[in-house]
Amino acid sequence: MRLIDSLATTPAMAEVFSDTSLLRAMLDFEAALARAEARTGVISHAAAEAIDRAASAELFDVGKLAKDSLRAGTLAIPLVKALTERVRAVDQEGARFVHWGATSQDVADTAIVLLLRRASMVLAADHARLHVALRRLSEEHSNTVMLGRTLLQPAPPVTFGLKAAGWFGALRRGWARLEAAFEDAMILEFGGASGTLAALGERGVAVGAALAEELKLRNPEAPWHAHRDRLAAVISGCGIYTGSLGKMARDIALLMQGEVGEAAEAGSEGRGGSSTMPHKRNPTGCSLALAAASRVPGLVAGYLAGMAQEHERGAGGWQAEWTTVARVMEDTALALASMAEVAEGLRVDAPRMRANIDRTRGVIFAERAMILLGAELGRDAAHQLLEQATERTIESGRRLKDVIADLPEASRVLSKAQIDNLESPEAYLGSAEVFRQQLLAP
Q: Residue 108 pLDDT more than 60?
A: yes
Q: Residue 269 pLDDT more than 70?
A: no
Q: Which tens digit of pLDDT belongs to each residue from 56-94? A: 999 999 999 999 999 998 999 999 999 999 999 999 999
Q: Among 427, 387, 372, which residue's Cα sits nearest to residue 157?
A: 427
Q: Residue 273 pLDDT more than 80?
A: no
Sign of CA dihedral 171, 173, 176, 182: negative
Q: Residue 275 pLDDT more than 80?
A: no
Contact 293, 238 (CB under 8 A): no
What is the mean pLDDT of the segment spanning 153-174? Answer: 98
| Helix and strand totals (H; E) in the chain | 19, 4
Contact 262, 348 (CB under 8 A): yes
In percent, the amount of the chain with pLDDT more than 70 equals 97
Q: Which tens digit of pLDDT belongs to each residue from 388-437? A: 999 999 999 999 999 999 999 988 999 999 999 999 999 999 999 999 99
Q: What pLDDT sits at residue 427?
A: 97
Residues 255 and 262: their CA atoms lie apart, in Å, by 5
pLDDT band (50, 70, 90) for residue 280: low
Q: What pLDDT sits at residue 390?
A: 96
Q: To which CATH superfamily is domain 103-187+224-357+428-442 assigned? A: Fumarase/aspartase (Central domain) (1.20.200.10)
Residues 250 and 150: their CA atoms lie apart, in Å, by 14
Partners of 145 in the β-ladder: 159
Q: Enumerate the active-site residues.
A: 274, 313
CB neighbour list of residue 406: distance below 8 Å, 6 or more residues apart: none
Residues 382 and 376: their CA atoms lie apart, in Å, by 9
What is the mean pLDDT of the segment spanning 255-279? Answer: 74
What is the mean pLDDT of the segment spanning 314-328? Answer: 91
pLDDT band (50, 70, 90) for residue 278: very low
What is the mean pLDDT of the segment spanning 8-17? Answer: 96
Tell me where in the chain the CATH 1.20.200.10 domain(s) lie.
Answer: 103-187+224-357+428-442
SS3 148: strand
Integer angstrom CA distances of residue 173 from 167, 182, 324: 10, 14, 24
Q: Residue 48 pLDDT more than 80?
A: yes
Identify residue 302 by its one-letter amino acid code. G
Q: Among 398, 432, 442, which residue's Cα sits nearest to residue 166?
A: 432
Tell me where in the chain the CATH 1.10.275.10 domain(s) lie.
Answer: 8-102+199-215
363-422: CATH topology is Ribonucleotide Reductase Protein R1; domain 1 (1.10.40)
CB neighbour list of residue 310: distance below 8 Å, 6 or more residues apart: 226, 317
Residues 47 and 275: their CA atoms lie apart, in Å, by 60
Q: Which tens digit of pLDDT belongs to each residue from 377-397? A: 999 999 999 999 999 999 999
Angle, CA of 284, 288 and 292, to the nearest 5°: 165
Query: Is residue 81 classed exposed, middle or buried when 0-12, 13-18 and 19+ CB atoms within 10 A define those classes?
Result: middle
313: left (phi over 0), alpha (psi -120 to 50) or beta: beta
Q: What pLDDT sits at residue 148?
A: 98
Tell me where in the chain the CATH 1.10.40.30 domain(s) lie.
Answer: 363-422
Q: Among 119, 242, 278, which residue's Cα sits nearest to residue 185?
A: 119
Q: Residue 124 pLDDT more than 50?
A: yes
What is the mean pLDDT of the segment spanning 164-182? Answer: 98
Q: Which stretches does DSSP call E strand in 35-167? A: 145-150, 153-159
The better pLDDT of the pair 318, 405 is held by 405
Q: Which tens digit of pLDDT belongs to each residue from 195-254? A: 999 999 999 999 999 999 999 999 999 999 999 999 999 999 999 999 999 999 999 999
Q: Which residues of 29-64 are buried (b: 16+ CB within 10 A; e: fewer)?
A: bbbbbbbbbbbbebbbeebbbbbbebbebeebeeee
What pTM was computed for the model?
0.94
Q: What pLDDT sits at residue 6?
A: 83
CB 365: neighbour CB atoms within 10 A? 27
Q: What pLDDT sits at residue 271?
A: 55
Q: Which residues of 117-138 are buried (b: 16+ CB within 10 A; e: fewer)?
A: bbbbebbeebbebbbebbbebb
CATH classification of 8-102+199-215, choosing from 2.60.40.10, 2.40.50.90, 1.10.275.10, 1.10.10.10?
1.10.275.10
Q: Among 77, 51, 55, which residue's Cα sits nearest to residue 66?
A: 77
CB 313: neighbour CB atoms within 10 A? 18
Q: What pLDDT sits at residue 317?
A: 83
Query: Is residue 154 classed exposed, middle or buried when 0-12, 13-18 and 19+ CB atoms within 10 A define those classes?
Result: middle
Q: What pLDDT sits at residue 385?
A: 94
In percent, the amount of the chain with pLDDT more than 90 equals 91
Residues 76 and 68: their CA atoms lie apart, in Å, by 10
Mean pLDDT, the chain, whole residue set: 95
